[in-house]
Structure 1
């Protein structure tokens, strides 16, 4: 029955609300009694309801490579790491829920409740209601941008109108059919939500969990980049940077004299989003992503502080496995689980790199390299040579894409880059090969497995979703 799948995607709303003692007025079928505007504010202020995004696709990207045989053998056969890492045709069996997708659709359900009902609530001003609704619109747009770039086909201007995206839910219903919307339709909804929210948000938030005008610009810049619309991507990245442009100077943190600021206190984070990760910590932790030589070889290993500070030998975790891991999560002095400290939302460096890439694609070499070297100034010791130069726009673009890969590692963006660059004329996505437990796996550019398969449980309940082949 269709009702079952919808419930499995949005189940837990009332449970998630229980974390907020001030949340009341729950009525049947997930609807809220439209009484007090303040109740909707309580909901928006509870980060548990809106903070999660997707992260499993980091494991599938070419930035990750677990080559240590002992560690491979320690991974449980039931761990979702294996099918994701090996680009399997099936990740979830008929009895398993996709916990990551469920978490993000629950964010969407929470947003839909607010968007649908807050304007009819009582004892709140029109401005308060519009502000609350705007925040929900931004969270919904972020959720769909993540979903369509993992479970939908990559954006292709020529085919986006017919390419399959993801189920698009814009009302808080708990039953009904779940056909996939087209990729184009999902992106239209994302941009529409962001535009609709813009007017009613502050320029920058008091805390980076809250949506803002800066976050709207940043998410639009990310979306347009993934669409290949470099004019709009650059324009929105520039506007985002006018509102927030602070960078962390890594020289201040080398030697662990000062604890690196956690996600919610990092001045580079524009909108804080965290992964919903459940890999077994006793066999392989998703936070401790083993970095590939292809990524590590891009760094100046002697002077690049990102390599020296944000990556470390596996041995620093007290294990015997070889390889170098993404270590930034372990630098926080935070009560959050380590995996939740990974910053997956848009950031100042991402906006700088989007702007630089768009300049390079326009043939403006000087503009692109100036931005790149401004960022690198904060990533190298002052007495070390960090300046890059480029004789051509193509060379500048190459530098930007390499810098993007280093700067934004383990934030969910490399997988999206591999998808969008498949047919890039100068820097096309390369074939990825990895060996796991004696078997060689290969992922060709443009392969269907660049789109994650839907869980068999969902297809059984709602066959209209369909599997992308």
Structure 2
């Protein structure tokens, strides 16, 4: 029987088994079985077990463009920025682990252990056990939603039942074959997990790292948007906003570069998820998320605080590279992990823009623009005109899609938008071209490289996974 290479690489519970040895027993096949319900609660409360998600897709998106030749030449050849940025056919060789995918499958493994075992634990009420299980279901749904939108084919209702998604693991097994589930099957599991979790969660969490009913609605809204089911996306976004709809006013922070609230205190965050990898000069000498002119030109550069506060010229970091970067990674003290400043999970602005997009696609221009302008009011300098108007639903939809790029830059979503909009009748994805170290690279709409390749190490050990062609 083939060994499951993905799980063999992520087997260790990220609370660290050594740190947890005071209260757990390690049984056969690596199975973790705390005897007491309270120990599962401790596991769920340890955010290290569940907080990570994918972020490399930001580098591949058209929001990023590194044109400075000096900076390009300073990047290490072995750094994964290069094959991702150039949409290479191979990112990881036979000797390399895909650390981002490992981290997300580790989240899934952790969730599967809890889901599989918590109901049989001792000295806990049924309500306590169901709540713990529900949290794990939400984290698992979020993980698969990220994976299938990076490593699986884009959702297409006509072909989703046969299109290849990602390996779908719902039990904490560590052996066996590892075929890809269909895209449709992965989405079915995501929605099922969220529906099963809903009843047992609070409306909103005490801390936004923990799942809630609001998070269920928000993740369903994101999933349905990516499926092109705009009616369900709107319904769930509306329900999420009923539970949590506050916005941060950038005017309160723009005068103090380090004052923006951390994720735990950010009232816009519905479910905090952190990138496994950060691209910032504090970590890599030549790598940061340099924003494309295509994106930067969408901003009112004089009055939109997202431009002046959340993006900055690289010279502010004390380097000579040209270009303007996403600066939110640098808004905190050095003691705060910079990757944790970039929330990749669902948030209030995302829900507003999902609802607005659905209204626009339904032909309700007024409702769409009301939501867009409500958001922009909190992003523009006080007293400046932030309002946009639209004479038609198509014009409103254009405003919404542009506002998604401005508001949700470097949240991991632009790549997913490029995938889902490939065949949009009014705003189809455009061809992307970039030059890196003298070579021109082109990504056509619908290209196979809109699906990240699996690492050769995983294919060697589990060839049934297969590479999407």
TM-score above 0.5, yes or no: yes
Which stretch shifts more, 260-269 or 137-146?
260-269
Contact 1:201 1:212 in 2 (8 A): yes
> Is 2:296 the counterpart of 1:296?
yes
Contact 1:372 1:400 in 2 (8 A): yes
What is the DSSP-based 3-state SS (H/G/I as helix, E as strand, rest coil) of the residue aligned with 1:264?
Answer: coil
Which stretch shifts more, 343-352 or 270-279?
270-279
Contact 2:258 2:332 in 1 (8 A): no
The aligned counterpart of 1:92 is: 92
The aligned counterpart of 2:456 is: 456
Contact 1:20 1:43 in 2 (8 A): no
Alignment of 1:41-440 (within 5 A): 41-256=41-256, 259-277=259-277, 281-285=283-287, 288-333=288-333, 335-440=335-440
The Cα shift of 1:23 comes to 4.6
Deviations 1:309-355 (A, max 9, x none): 00000011111000000001211247442123210000000000000
Cα 1:302–1:21, aligned 2, differ >3 Å: closer, same or farther?
farther
Deviations 1:395-453 (A, max 9, x none): 00000000010000000000000000000000000000000000000000000000000
What is the DSSP-based 3-state SS (H/G/I as helix, E as strand, rest coil) of the residue aligned with 1:16?
Answer: coil
Gaps of 5+ in 1: none
The Cα shift of 1:10 comes to 2.5
The Cα shift of 1:15 comes to 6.4
The Cα shift of 1:265 comes to 1.2
The Cα shift of 1:368 comes to 0.2
What is the DSSP-based 3-state SS (H/G/I as helix, E as strand, rest coil) of the residue aligned with 1:2?
Answer: coil
What is the DSSP-based 3-state SS (H/G/I as helix, E as strand, rest coil) of the residue aligned with 1:312?
Answer: strand
Which stretch shifts more, 150-159 or 374-383?
374-383
Deviations 1:206-232 (A, max 9, x none): 000000000000000000000000000
- Distance of 1:148 and 1:282 partners within structure 2: 28
Deviations 1:165-201 (A, max 9, x none): 0000000001110000000000000000000000000
- Distance of 1:71 and 1:51 partners within structure 2: 31
The Cα shift of 1:83 comes to 0.2
- Distance of 2:59 and 2:184 partners within structure 1: 26
Cα 1:23–1:148, aligned 2, differ >3 Å: closer, same or farther?
farther
Contact 1:22 1:42 in 2 (8 A): no
The Cα shift of 1:284 comes to 3.1
- Distance of 1:325 and 1:88 partners within structure 2: 23
- Distance of 1:66 and 1:8 partners within structure 2: 36
What is the DSSP-based 3-state SS (H/G/I as helix, E as strand, rest coil) of the residue aligned with 1:467?
Answer: coil
What is the DSSP-based 3-state SS (H/G/I as helix, E as strand, rest coil) of the residue aligned with 1:166?
Answer: strand
The Cα shift of 1:373 comes to 0.4
- Distance of 1:408 and 1:279 partners within structure 2: 17
- Distance of 2:427 and 2:245 partners within structure 1: 28
- Distance of 1:385 and 1:21 partners within structure 2: 59
What is the DSSP-based 3-state SS (H/G/I as helix, E as strand, rest coil) of the residue aligned with 2:3?
Answer: helix
* Paired residues, number: 467
Give the alignment's TM-score, normalised by structure 2. Answer: 0.97
What is the DSSP-based 3-state SS (H/G/I as helix, E as strand, rest coil) of the residue aligned with 2:426?
Answer: coil
Cα 1:176–1:370, aligned 2, differ >3 Å: closer, same or farther?
same
- Distance of 2:107 and 2:144 partners within structure 1: 10
- Distance of 1:419 and 1:67 partners within structure 2: 24
RMSD: 1.5
- Distance of 1:74 and 1:258 partners within structure 2: 28
Deviations 1:346-383 (A, max 9, x none): 00000000000000000000000000000000001221
Deviations 1:119-158 (A, max 9, x none): 0000000000000000000000000000000000000000
Cα 1:326–1:455, aligned 2, differ >3 Å: closer, same or farther?
same
Contact 1:262 1:334 in 2 (8 A): no
The Cα shift of 1:9 comes to 4.1
- Distance of 1:5 and 1:29 partners within structure 2: 14
Contact 1:34 1:122 in 2 (8 A): no
What is the DSSP-based 3-state SS (H/G/I as helix, E as strand, rest coil) of the residue aligned with 2:398?
Answer: helix
- Distance of 1:389 and 1:181 partners within structure 2: 44
Give the alignment's TM-score, normalised by structure 1. Answer: 0.97
Contact 2:8 2:174 in 1 (8 A): no
- Distance of 1:74 and 1:183 partners within structure 2: 39
What is the DSSP-based 3-state SS (H/G/I as helix, E as strand, rest coil) of the residue aligned with 2:116?
Answer: helix
What is the DSSP-based 3-state SS (H/G/I as helix, E as strand, rest coil) of the residue aligned with 1:368?
Answer: helix
What is the DSSP-based 3-state SS (H/G/I as helix, E as strand, rest coil) of the residue aligned with 1:122?
Answer: coil
The Cα shift of 1:31 comes to 1.7
The Cα shift of 1:279 comes to 5.9
Contact 2:219 2:346 in 1 (8 A): yes
What is the DSSP-based 3-state SS (H/G/I as helix, E as strand, rest coil) of the residue aligned with 1:435?
Answer: strand
